[in-house]
Amino acid sequence: MNLIQFFAENPVIAIGFSGGVDSSYLLYEAQKYAKKVRAYYVKSAFQPQFELDDARKLAQQIGADLRILQVDILSHKEIISNPPNRCYFCKQAIFGTISSQAAQDGFPVLIDGTNASDAADDRPGMRALKEMSVRSPLRECGLTKSEIRKLSKEAGLLTWNKPAYACLATRVPFHEPLSAELLDHIEQAENILFQLGFTDFRVRVFKGAARLQLKEEQWALAKEKRGEILAALQPFFHSVLLDFQVR
């Protein structure tokens, strides 16, 4: 099967849209080949503001119908306790919200941007999507991450070289409770590093400290900006550490 065939068989489509490389390309193709498509972006405490901004920009670029939904993700006790299967409950909350709204709006099939490079194991989040009958056309059609980036570049999509970005909750070790304040501190810290010129990095929490995971080629920049980083991040974390494992 290819995407043209998929959308011929499933002409009315709702997309769980993140604004990342994969879901952006999927939305672009759906715009061309589906009869009717709507993208649903879920805003929660786990998504930084720039992700929503990117989603809006991409939808505007290709003229897509985008709807923003709000989910109070921190109202779920099984999520804020941060167990190893947190993603299972999170996907249930997010895609359950999309599925319910999409059904009300007249979109019977819900799809996501999982691609053929994503591990086909029984990860908690993947299991939740399977249980909710969410389809993954990119995977079903055998499209890998590198192919999607190449095709996105050829299509002129602004997301073609966007770094992969996991939700803010992934910065916190399992079993450490999640809170709005902690997630906000992480988001602010990462925004500061973006402004200082860093790219494709993570600010992870380690016993109240910020543990910076950077690309090796940006370690020199970290040394150069050491004073600025410390001054900017210490309002949020008592210590700032550099992780020498290559990101």
Q: Above 70 in pLDDT, residue 200?
A: yes
96 vs 122 pLDDT, higher one: 96
- Same domain? For 150 and 29 the reply is yes
pLDDT-based confidence at 215, cuts 50/70/90? very high
Domain-embedded: residue 171:
no
Write the CATH number for 107.
Answer: 3.40.50.620
Encode 68-92: b = buried (16+ Cβ within 10 Å), e = exposed.
eeebebbebeebbeeeeebbbbbbb
- Same domain? For 109 and 189 the reply is no
Range of the domain at 185: 179-243
| Arithmetic mean of pLDDT, 86-97 | 97
- Same domain? For 125 and 226 the reply is no
- Same domain? For 136 and 198 the reply is no
Q: Which of 107, 122, 155 is the last residue of a domain?
A: 155
Q: Which of 155, 189, 218 is the last residue of a domain?
A: 155
3-state helix, strand, coil in the chain (%, to 5): 50, 15, 35
- Same domain? For 20 and 116 the reply is yes
Question: What is the per-residue pLDDT across 15-30, written as a single tens digit (0 to 9) for each?
Answer: 999 999 999 999 999 9
What pLDDT is stored for residue 120 in this prediction? Answer: 63
| Arithmetic mean of pLDDT, 29-46 | 98
Write the CATH number for 217.
Answer: 3.30.70
Domain-embedded: residue 174:
no
Domain-embedded: residue 167:
no
pLDDT-based confidence at 1, cuts 50/70/90? confident
Asked if 163 and 135 count as a contact pair (C-beta separation under 8 A), the reply is: no
Does the model's pTM come out above 0.85? yes
- Same domain? For 147 and 186 the reply is no
First to last CA, the chain: 35
Question: What is the per-residue pLDDT across 182-196, written as a single tens digit (0 to 9) for each?
Answer: 999 999 999 999 999
Domain-embedded: residue 136:
yes
Total number of domains in the chain: 2
- Same domain? For 142 and 195 the reply is no
Q: Which of 140, 155, 170 is the last residue of a domain?
A: 155
Domain-embedded: residue 111:
yes
What pLDDT is stored for residue 231 in this prediction? Answer: 97
Give the span between the Cα atoms of 135 and 117, in whole angstroms: 16
Give percent of the chain above pLDDT 90: 94
Question: What is the per-residue pLDDT across 150-187, written as a single tens digit (0 to 9) for each?
Answer: 999 999 999 999 998 899 999 999 999 999 999 999 99
- Same domain? For 215 and 96 the reply is no
